Amino acid sequence: MSKKVTKIGIMTSGGDAPGMNACVRAAVRTGLFNKMEVYGITRGYSGMIDDDIHKMDSRSVANIIQRGGTILKTARCKEFMTPEGRKKAYANLKKHGINGLIIIGGDGSFKGAQIFSNEFDIPCIGIPGTIDKDIAGTDFTIGFDTAVNTAIDAIDKIRDTADAHDRLFIVEVMGRDAGYIALYSGIGTGAEHILIPEQKTDVEAVIKSLQEKERRKKLVNIVVVAEGDDFGGGNELAEIIKERIPGFDIRVAILGHVQRGGAPSSLDRMIASRMGYSAVNCLIEGNHNVMVGIVNNKMHYTPLDKAIKAKQRINEDWLKMVKILAS
């Protein structure tokens, strides 16, 4: 991997996240500024296998920084998990002369990049693009801030109608393996309970707390639950609360994929631009097979193999704070 990188392939992979377009824009224009050829790979690893690869110029990324989703599309690809699929992908990259890759996605995308780079002589740079914020080695992931703000906006509106009817609302947010969206949106909206995958749910404690609130005539309550909570999602929790506290008027709101969409926040646009710019510079400087992150507002580089294995952990102080503020 000592060869000079002259042609870059850029792709978005896994779940889409607001800010991916800002990152693509930054990477394309930084590459062009440094006299490199830049290619967009459509639909992630699937596009690499199908040779859905096109040359990009400055106009290719005009007027996209404010758009959600990704102009390069994204897909999950089982074929890339096979040696035969990766051979097809490499042959297509070689045909275009691409000798450096930038992958914007999550840990699954990085795992594919690490295997691919080990098998073939091509350096890869990972950029954390996931609304879940579940990757270690960075304080931010592209899309997380926007997703949280979307959830907060929805929960604020839900609290208005909950107050009008004296209802208990259970709001399910995204987070199959990580509870950061639930944690941040729950704290930001003053939720009475926040249930996340990282902490075993004590349903009896939740029931007891709600019963106490019922005795105090506090009938307006918001419970935010991550979809991957060990007890189950919003509907499962609602069923047991209905059985135990029939006096509560309960509604469930599942926010779903609305959290993935929308114009990226100013923070997501900024970190995405910084990461895209830094990823190209990594390839130029020979700092290969790393994930570009931001720690303490400074660029931080984590080897891809470590980024794949490590998970972002929720600070115990945050969980303690949730109990205090919701009491």
Phi, psi at 63, each rounded to 5°:
60, 40
- Is residue 237 within 8 A of residue 170, CB to CB? The reply is yes
Q: Which are the contacts of 213, defined by CB distance < 8 A and separation ≥ 6? A: 192, 219, 221
DSSP 160-221: HHHHHHT-EEEEEES-SS--HHHHHHHHHTT-SEEE-TTS---HHHHHHHHHHHHHTT---E
- Is residue 105 within 8 A of residue 81, CB to CB? The reply is no
Q: Rounded distance, CA 16 to CA 13, Å?
A: 7
One-letter amino acid for residue 173 of the chain: V
For the chain, give the number of residues. 327
Of 132, 134, 145, 268, catalytic: 132
Residue (of 238, 172, 225, 222) closest to 197 by Cα position:
225
CA atoms within 13 A on the CB side of 7: 14
DSSP 276-314: HHHHHHHHHHT--SEEEEEETTEEEEEEHHHHHH-BPPP
Q: Which are the contacts of 8, defined by CB distance < 8 A and separation ≥ 6? A: 27, 31, 36, 37, 38, 39, 98, 100, 101, 102, 280, 283
Tokens of 320: 């303690």
132 counts as catalytic: yes
In angstroms, how far apart are the furthest CA atoms of the chain? 71
Phi, psi at 192, each rounded to 5°:
-75, -30
Q: Which residues are catalytic?
A: 132
